Structure 1
Amino acid sequence: MIVLQTNFGDITVELDHEKAPKTAANFEQYVRDGFYDGTLFHRVIPGFMVQGGGFDTDFNQKPTRDPIENEADSGLKNTTGTLAMARTQDPHSATAQFFINVADNDFLNHTGKTIQGWGYCAFGTVVEGMDVVEKIKAVPTTRRGMHADVPAEDVVIQKAYVKDEPEA
């Protein structure tokens, strides 16, 4: 289990190491490295998703490791409460940014191994704290530089950690 401690409350996530092993391991390693500590949920779109894991509180993009292979063909779906990897138009460009689906986003699911069909890899599920996700999704948004849908009030992942280990 992974806990995302935010200034809105805690979100507990169960990763699917069986169906999305590379993606789950990638996310967990970023957690263990402290990468997400002090990062923002920087994109909030009600009826779609809340996205985080890429920017610090000064809105500087954080450097990441190399991209991972897209495992969206695992059979996992982008349903309400699932975590998925954010990426560019390149299907195999996901690094650290992730999103939590706040609706059933079937159009993000894998349909084929083409640029349009690859989809976005779901790799975990919120098991506690969906009420916190609901609070985040309700935050008013604005523009910040070239970015739209940015929360007007900072939504910060204060600390992310693996729950089955003692906190440092």
Structure 2
Amino acid sequence: MRFSFQPRSRRLLTAALLAVCVAGLPAPTAFAQGNLDAQLEAIRARETALDEKVVELQTQYRDADEARKKQIEAEGEQLFKDFQTNVVQQRNALMTAAQAAPQLSESVAVWAATNAFGENDYANAEQFSKKLLATAPQNRIGLNLLPASQFALQKFTEAQQNFAKAEAAGVLLPQFASFAEAAPEYAQFWAQEQATRQKQASMNLPRVVFKTTKGDVTLELFEEEAPNAVANMITLVESGFYDGVKFHRVIPNFMAQGGDPNSKNDDPTDDGRGGPGYAIDSEFNNPGARKHFRGTLSAANSGPNTAGSQFFLTHLPTPHLNGKHTVYGRVIEGQEVVDSLQIGDEIQNAEVVSKRNHQYTVKKNSNG
């Protein structure tokens, strides 16, 4: 990942940190319980110092000549390396220590829960939120992140109960209001979804594997509810269309989007605009159309009947997309890979590993 000094935000290093995959780092030395707060303050001080240096270099970059710009870019690359090798490992070590600690101070628990949630690590976000509320029962962050994490993990009944506590305390955050509203209905949707999965377990649904730069993702395709979207995916995969395509749009706590052939070139400005040269009709109004849950494979579009090759994989349930995007599969292995994807990560190879014994023909419309 290349670090850029083009003006974007004042929290570039923090954003970069959240984008770094921390899997595979060596196990840290255990922290003493009383030392966790000191470790957190040290990490924050280092983040602040690095961030201030980034802002300084950004300011210089705007007025620099070409020679100086190259120097600044080199300094930025070194800063980013330092950030990865020092701050990231320190943060990961503190997160691991916080997981092992039976109790946490309010500040460490807030930090740990917030960072876990921001990295789509909902299981740890839930546990850190519980530790936070054990220490500070009225903490606003804990009262919100506990049910939000449970909603992401599809524990909808628990989420509903804990969102009610946040609402009763008058601290429900606006970004989670839609989750709180959807939780009761999603408990019903989830029961229906589980019944459908059980019913279809022996129906030989097609499967596709994406071999990405972060690991393998195995998808089960919903041929019963979205046969044309499935035919489209199988046809494109078997043609090699997705090989080398990058994930061009990734939004934490939402989804990772890919499937645009334009992402293969060196021009990021055209990412998100490409497709296979045709469009297919939407199937989100088909009988039994599936809802958006964690790990859903859904068709990206710019309106009804405009889907092509682009798709997205969800980090958590997305109620606002139901009835607007065709759900045509789900992640059955590799959700942790989906959670770790960043912009620029690549599908190195896509393969149909199983399908039904009939021809898959795509029905195209006139919108392509």
Q: Common fold, TM-score beyond 0.5?
A: yes
Quick check: 1:101 aligned with 2:310? no
Q: Report the Cα offset of residue 12 of structure 1.
A: 0.3
Separation (CA, whole Å) in 1 of partners of 2:354 and 2:318: 30
Structure 2 unmatched runs, 5+: 1-206, 356-368
Quick check: 1:128 aligned with 2:333? yes
Question: Match of 1:113?
Answer: none
Question: Match of 2:231?
Answer: 25
Q: Report the Cα offset of residue 24 of structure 1.
A: 0.6
Separation (CA, whole Å) in 1 of partners of 2:264 and 2:313: 18
Quick check: 1:160 aligned with 2:350? yes
Question: Match of 1:9?
Answer: 215
Residue range with higher mean Cα deviation, 39-48 or 156-165: 156-165
Aligned 8 A contact 2:208 2:219 in 1: yes
Aligned pairs for 1:31-110 within 5 A = 31-54=237-260, 55-58=263-266, 59=268, 62-74=274-286, 75-88=289-302, 90-110=303-323
> Larger relative contact order (C-alpha < 8 A, sep ≥ 6)?
1
- 1:61-107 superposed Cα distances (whole Å, 9 cap, x missing partner): 5551310000011321111101000011x311000000001111011
Q: Report the Cα offset of residue 57 of structure 1.
A: 5.0
Aligned 8 A contact 1:39 1:57 in 2: no
Structure 1 unmatched runs, 5+: 111-118, 140-150
Q: Report the Cα offset of residue 28 of structure 1.
A: 1.0
The runs of at least 4 aligned residues of structure 1 exceeding 3 Å deviation read 59-63
- 1:105-137 superposed Cα distances (whole Å, 9 cap, x missing partner): 011001xxxxxxxx100000100000101111x
Q: Report the Cα offset of residue 164 of structure 1.
A: 3.2
The alpha-carbon distance between structure 1 residues 63 and 108, as it changes in their structure 2 partners (threshold 3 A), is: closer
Separation (CA, whole Å) in 1 of partners of 2:240 and 2:209: 12
Q: Report the Cα offset of residue 163 of structure 1.
A: 1.2
What code does the residue aligned with 2:227 have?
A: P
What code does the residue aligned with 2:347 have?
A: I
Aligned 8 A contact 2:245 2:264 in 1: yes
Aligned 8 A contact 1:7 1:157 in 2: yes
Higher Rg:
2
Q: Report the Cα offset of residue 30 of structure 1.
A: 0.7
What code does the residue aligned with 2:313 have?
A: I
**Partner SS for 2:247:** strand
More strand by share: 1
Separation (CA, whole Å) in 2 of partners of 1:92 and 1:37: 25
What code does the residue aligned with 1:80 have?
A: R
Q: TM-score, normalised by structure 1?
A: 0.79
RMSD: 1.6
